[in-house]
Structure 1
Amino acid sequence: MRKTLIMLTGLVAVNMAGWQIAWSQQIDSFTDPDESASVDENQIILAEYQWNGKKNEISLADFKAAIGELSIFQQENYASKAGKTEYLPEFIDKELKVLAAIDKGLNKDEDIVKKAREYKHTLLIERLTLIEVDEKVFPTEEDRRRYYEEHKSEYIEEAAARVTCISVLEKMLAQEALAQIKAGTNISELAKELSEKDKLFGPGSNKTDPGNTGLFTKDESEDWQAFVDAAFEMKVGDITEEILELEMDHETYYLIFRKEEHLPERIADFEEVRDYIEPSVKREKKRQRIIEWVAEVTSTSGLKTYPERIPEAVLDQEEPVTNAENIIIAEFDCDGKQQITLAEMIQDIRELSEYTPQRYKDKARLEEYVTLMAEGRLILCLAKERELEKEPEIQRKTRRYLHTLLSNKLWKVEVEEKVKVTEEGIRANYETRKSEFAEEEQVRLTCITLRDSDRAKEVFESIRSGKEMVEVAKELSDTGELTGPGADPLNPGDTGYLTRDTFPKEQQAFTDAAFAMEVGQTVDDIMTVSFQGRQYYTIFRKEEHNLAHQKTLNDSEVRRIVTADTQTEMRNALTAKLHTQLRNKARLKIYLDRIPEQPDK
C-alpha cells in the first residue's frame, strides 16, 4: 500500500471538505451522559443563573465533569478546594460567553461551523483507526524476542567507570591532599573532610556522598575528557601518582582520584529491556495492521485514483483550472458512489498551514496527496456508516470544541476588535511607569583578569610597551587564561555595560576605580581583587561612560513595550467588562462555600 507510514498522520491532518453537520443551537451540559456521579454531588449546586427566561444550574458533578475534560496538569491544579475556587468563575464565564455567542448567531458563522465539522471528522477517523488498528494489535512473546534480536545493537551498555575523586581549585591544597594520601590517609575520608570545608568542586563534589563520582562512560563529558581518559586507563584500586590539572570555564581544577569500579561494555539481556521494547513492538505491529486494514477497505470499496488527470504545476496556475469541479481524481463506493474532484483537492491543499502547500508543487507529491485524501474520505465514510458520531465521547469532545470556538469568537468580537490604542493612552501609560525606563549610570571597559600574579605583571608590561589591550585579551582568551570580567570568548576583553551594583561589595574597589577613571584611561597598576577567598589580578581601560538618563517614547523599544502594555491593559479591562455584563444579565449566583474541602483523588 502506497505511503502507509505517512497515511495515518495524513488521515488526521487532511481537511475533509464536503460533508455536512447540523449543530444544535441549544447549549448542552459538559457532563458526559454515560458518566454517573454521586447523588450528593448532583444535588450540590455551585452556581445558578437565568438565560433567556430559562433557569440553569451548575452542580458539583457538572463542575467535576468539566474539570475531567481538562489536561492532566490542569486537573491536578484544580483538584483542591483552592483550585476549584479559582477555576469555577472562569468556567462559568466561558459558559456565559457561549450562550451570548449563540444569541448573536455566531454558531452559524461559516468558519466556526467548518472548523467544528473538520474536528469532528478527525475524531471519527481517529476512533475508527483505534477500533481497527490499536484494538486489534496484540504483540506475542515471539514478536518481542524477534524485535530484540533484530535491534540488539540498540541495547549495548557502554563501558563505565567510577572513581573516588578529590577535585579542588587550589594547587597547594591539592598538593597537601596528595601528600596525606601517600602517607596513608584514606582518600574517601579526606574527601569528606574537604567537603565539610566547602573545598570540593567538580567530579566527586556531591555533598551527600563526597568523592563518589558515580558511574560515567567514556563520552560522559568533553570538557572533562582528560580526567575520563585517565580513569578508564587505570586499574581498579589504582590511585593517581600525580595531580591532574584541568582548565575549564576559566578555572583550573586539581584532581586526585582512585578507581573503584569498572563495568565492561555489554548487551542488555532480553528480560532487562522487555518493558522498554514493548512500545516499539506495538508500533511495528500497528504499522503492519494499518497496511493490512487500508488494503482491505480500499479493495472492498473499489477505491481508484486518477493522478494522470492532475495538470502539471496545478497550484502555480494563477487562473483557475478549467472545469476543475468536474475532473474526477478519485472515487470509491461507500454509502453510494463517492467522488473527489480536482477542485476539492486544490481547495484542500490551499487551506493547509501557510508553508505546507509548498510541499505539493511537484506531480509526485500531488499524487501522494490524492491517495491520502481519498483514504481519509473513505475511512470517514466508514466511521459514519458505523454511526460512531453517536458515541458519547465523540459528541462530548465535539461539543467542547464548538463551545471553545464560540467563546473565543465572542471574545474576539467584544474585546480584541475593540482594542484601539491612542497616543494619549500610550503617553498616560508611559507616565505611570516612567521609572522603569530610567537608565542607571554605566561604564564599559576592556578588561584583562588573570589568576597568576607573575603572568599579570608580564601582560601589564607588554601593554605599557604599546601592545593593544584588545589584541592581548584575544590572545589570552585563546589560551584559556582570561577569567572574570571581560572573559567572554565571543568578545574577549569587553565587559559589556556595568552599573555600580553589578559586582558584590567585596569588589567595590574595582567598581569605584572604573567609574572614577576618564574614558580612554588605563589603570596605573595591576589591581588585586578578592573573590570567594581567591586573588585575581586585573588590568583595564575605560571605553565608555554613560550618565544616568531617562528613556523617552522616542526610543523605539520603549514605545513598543508601552504600546503592548497599553493594549494588554485595555484588553483586560474590556474582558472584565464583558464578564460583568454577562454575569449581570444572567443574575449569576456563585456558592464557593459549597465546594468540598477534601481534594479529588
Structure 2
Amino acid sequence: MRRALGLALALTIAVGCGKKQPAELVVADVGPRKITVGELIVFQRKLPKSLRTEKPGIEGQKDYLQTLIDKYLMLLEAEAQGLEKDSIFVERFNREVKRKLQRELIKRKVWPRITVTEEEMRHYYEEHDLGRAIRVRHIRVADEDQAKKVLEELKKGRPFEELVRKYSLDTTTVDKGGDLGRYFRRDEAVYAIGDVVWNLEPGEVSEPIKVGKYYEIVQVIDQKTIPFEDWRPRLHRALWRNKFYIEREALLERLRKELHLKLHEDHLELLLAKERESGELQPVLSEEEKELPLYTFDGGKITLGDYLKNFRRLRNRPRDREQLLEYVNLLLPEHLLVAEAYRQKIDRIPEVAAWIKKKREELLIRVLRKREVEEKVQISEQEIRDEYERHKMDIYSLPEERDFIEILVPTEEQAKELLRRIRAGEDMEELAARYTTRKGMKKLKGKFHMHPFERAVYGEYYDIVMRAPIGKLMGPVKVEKGYAPSDTGYAIFKVTDVLPRRPEPYEKAKRRVRANLRYERESRRFEEFIRGLREKYRDQVRIFE
C-alpha cells in the first residue's frame, strides 16, 4: 500500500505542477468497486482546506483512502438494505436526473441557436432611449383631486419647492424640494413613472400619476447621457434571455409534433368532474384513476396522479376546462424535454452518465445516513434544558454591550480641539450635536450603543471601545470602518454604561442548544455506525500493498 499511496502523493504534486502521469493504479477494492490513485487524487484536491488532514505524506494519504473506503462501505450497506427502492430515494433521484437531462438537452439544442449581435444591442439601446438618465422631484398627495389642484397651482406659476413643502406627504424628500436624490436609468425608476415622465424634458411636469395608494406630480429637473458601453453586459443578458425563451418554446412546439402528443379528453373531463366535486379541497382519486393519462406521447405520459402531486395546494381550484388545461399544460415542458433527452440518448453521454452515477451514490448515502444516524438520535426537552444550564454563561451567553457618547470628525486636529474644549468644561453632548459627522448621530447628540455583531462593521474601533474604562474621556482614535463613508475619521468618546455578559433567554437559545446537541450526538452515532460497517464488510475490503 505504501507504494500505491506514495505514487498518489507523487502524482498529487505532479498534477499541481501541470505534469501528466498515469493514475489507473488500483489502491483498494471495496466489494465490486475499485479505488484508483486517480480517484484518490481528485478526492483530496476537491476537499476544502478545513477538511484536509494535517498528517503529512503517506499518513495523510491513508486518511483520504479510509474516507473513500468508508464511502463505498456505506454504498454496500445502502444496497444491502434495498434503499434503491426506498420511496424517498426514488423520488429525489428521479427529480435530480430529470433536471439534469433537461439542462443538458437545452444546452445542446437551444443554446447553439442563440446569438446576440452588436447591431441588435445598439438597436435596442437606441429604440428604448437607454442613453438617457433623468433626475426628478415629486409631490406626493392622497388622491387625484388634490393632485389636480397641485397641478393647477404649478400652471399658475407657483414654485415647485413651495408646493412640496405645502402638500407633499413624502417626508423624506420635503426638505430637498421633492428631489429623489440621484439619476435614474430607464430600468431603475423607483416607481412606475412610465413613458409619461420618461419623455418629459428638463423643467416639464407630468400629469397626476397613481403610485400605489397615492398620486404624484413629477418634474424632470435634469438629464445626462449613459454611454452604450455601460449597458452592454445587461443588454446582452436581456436579449440572450429573450431569445432563449423564444427558442425553447420553438423546441417544445416541435416536440409536440415529433413525439405525437395526444390529449385524452375523457380523462380531462373526469378530472374536471372530480375537481368540481371536491370544492376547495384537493380532489380524491382512486389508485386506478391516478394512473389514467391526461397526455400521452412517445416515451412518456402525464397522468392524473402527476397533476395531483404537482397541484396539491392550489388556492383557487379550477372550475372549468380552460382553467384545468392551463394547469395541466404547465407539466408539459418538463415531460417533453425529458422524453426527448432519452430519445437523443443524452443519459448515455459519458459525462452525463458519470454525473447520474455520482448523484445516485450521493443520494443513497444521504438516505442511509438519515435512516441509520439522524432518525436514531432523539433529544428530550429535559436534555436541552440541562445542556443550557451547564453552558448558559459561556456558549449560550450574550456578550457585553456598551453605551457611549462619541464625536467623530474628519481630522485628528479637530478631534484634539474638541477634546480640549470638553476638558475645559463644555458639554460633550452639545458638541456632538454640532460637530459629529457620523450619520444620524447629531440628532442623538452622539449617544451610541455598540452591539457585538457590529465588530465586523467597526473593526479595531469596536475592540478599543470594549476595553475602555467607564466614564473616562478617550481619544483621539482613528476610525477606519463604519456603515457609511462619513463614518470614518477621528473619534473622541466616553463610555457611559455597560451591559455585562448574561445568559441568553432560554426560549431564544433553545433552538441553538438543540442543534448543538444533535450535531454532537449524530457525530458520535455516525462514528459508531462506520465502525460497525468496517467490521461487517471487512472481508470485502482489500488494500493493495
> TM-score, normalised on structure 1?
0.51
1:293/1:429 Cα in 2 relative to 1: closer, same or farther (>3 Å)? closer
Report if aligned partners of 2:263, 2:294 keep a CA contact under 8 Å in 1.
Answer: yes
Uncovered stretches (5+) of structure 1, i.e. residues with no partner: 1-37, 160-217, 221-262, 351-355, 515-526, 595-601
Amino acid in the other structure paired with 2:367: K
Is structure 2 residue 110 aligned with structure 1 residue 148? no
Task: Give the Cα–Cα distance (whole angstroms) in 2 for the partners of residues 437 and 157 of structure 1.
Answer: 55
Alignment equivalent of 1:101, drawn from 58, 63, 78: 78
| 1:75-474 correspondence to structure 2 within 5 Å | 88-135=65-112, 137=113, 139=115, 143-152=117-126, 266-268=227-229, 283-300=241-258, 301-304=260-263, 310=272, 317-318=280-281, 320-321=283-284, 325=289, 330-334=294-298, 340-350=302-312, 357=314, 366-421=324-379, 423=382, 427=386, 431=390, 435-436=394-395, 444=403, 447=405, 449=407
* 2:283 alignment partner, SS class: coil
* Deviation, structure 1 residue 157: 7.8
Is structure 2 residue 527 aligned with structure 1 residue 576? yes
* 1:317 alignment partner, SS class: coil
Higher relative contact order (CA 8 A, sep 6+): 1
* 2:469 alignment partner, SS class: helix
Cα offsets for 1:489-518 (capped at 9, x unmatched): 7896243579xx98777998x72436xxxx
Identity %: 16
Aligned CA RMSD, in angstroms, stands at 5.6
* Deviation, structure 1 residue 411: 0.9
* Deviation, structure 1 residue 438: 6.8
* Deviation, structure 1 residue 100: 0.8
Alignment equivalent of 1:42, drawn from 24, 35, 45: 24
Task: Give the Cα–Cα distance (whole angstroms) in 1 for the partners of residues 90 and 536 of structure 2.
Answer: 27
1:385/1:575 Cα in 2 relative to 1: closer, same or farther (>3 Å)? same
Amino acid in the other structure paired with 1:566: L
Is structure 2 residue 9 aligned with structure 1 residue 58? no
1:303/1:151 Cα in 2 relative to 1: closer, same or farther (>3 Å)? farther
* 2:311 alignment partner, SS class: helix
| 1:470-549 correspondence to structure 2 within 5 Å | 481-482=435-436, 487=441, 493-496=447-450, 511-513=469-471, 527=473, 529-532=475-478, 542=496
Task: Give the Cα–Cα distance (whole angstroms) in 1 for the partners of residues 439 and 130 of structure 2.
Answer: 45
> TM-score, normalised on structure 2?
0.55
Task: Give the Cα–Cα distance (whole angstroms) in 2 for the partners of residues 388 and 415 of structure 1.
Answer: 36
Cα offsets for 1:93-118 (capped at 9, x unmatched): 22221111111222221221232233
* Deviation, structure 1 residue 398: 2.2
Amino acid in the other structure paired with 1:46: V
Task: Give the Cα–Cα distance (whole angstroms) in 1 for the partners of residues 451 and 120 of structure 2.
Answer: 62
Report if aligned partners of 1:97, 1:410 keep a CA contact under 8 Å in 2.
Answer: yes
* Deviation, structure 1 residue 325: 2.6
* 1:566 alignment partner, SS class: helix
Task: Give the Cα–Cα distance (whole angstroms) in 1 for the partners of residues 114 and 282 of structure 2.
Answer: 52
* Deviation, structure 1 residue 403: 1.2
1:344/1:529 Cα in 2 relative to 1: closer, same or farther (>3 Å)? closer
Count residues in correspondence: 403
* Deviation, structure 1 residue 126: 3.5
Uncovered stretches (5+) of structure 2, i.e. residues with no partner: 1-19, 134-181, 185-223, 453-459, 480-488
Report if aligned partners of 1:325, 1:344 keep a CA contact under 8 Å in 2.
Answer: no
* 1:421 alignment partner, SS class: coil
Task: Give the Cα–Cα distance (whole angstroms) in 1 for the partners of residues 490 and 235 of structure 2.
Answer: 55
Cα offsets for 1:210-256 (capped at 9, x unmatched): xxxxxxxx979xxxxxxxxxxxxxxxxxxxxxxxxxxxxxxxxxxxx
Task: Give the Cα–Cα distance (whole angstroms) in 1 for the partners of residues 536 and 378 of structure 2.
Answer: 26
1:360/1:97 Cα in 2 relative to 1: closer, same or farther (>3 Å)? farther
Name the structure 2 match of 1:586: 537
Report if aligned partners of 2:125, 2:228 keep a CA contact under 8 Å in 1.
Answer: no
1:65/1:319 Cα in 2 relative to 1: closer, same or farther (>3 Å)? same
* Deviation, structure 1 residue 572: 1.3
Name the structure 2 match of 1:566: 517
Task: Give the Cα–Cα distance (whole angstroms) in 1 for the partners of residues 535 and 298 of structure 2.
Answer: 51
Report if aligned partners of 1:298, 1:375 keep a CA contact under 8 Å in 2.
Answer: no
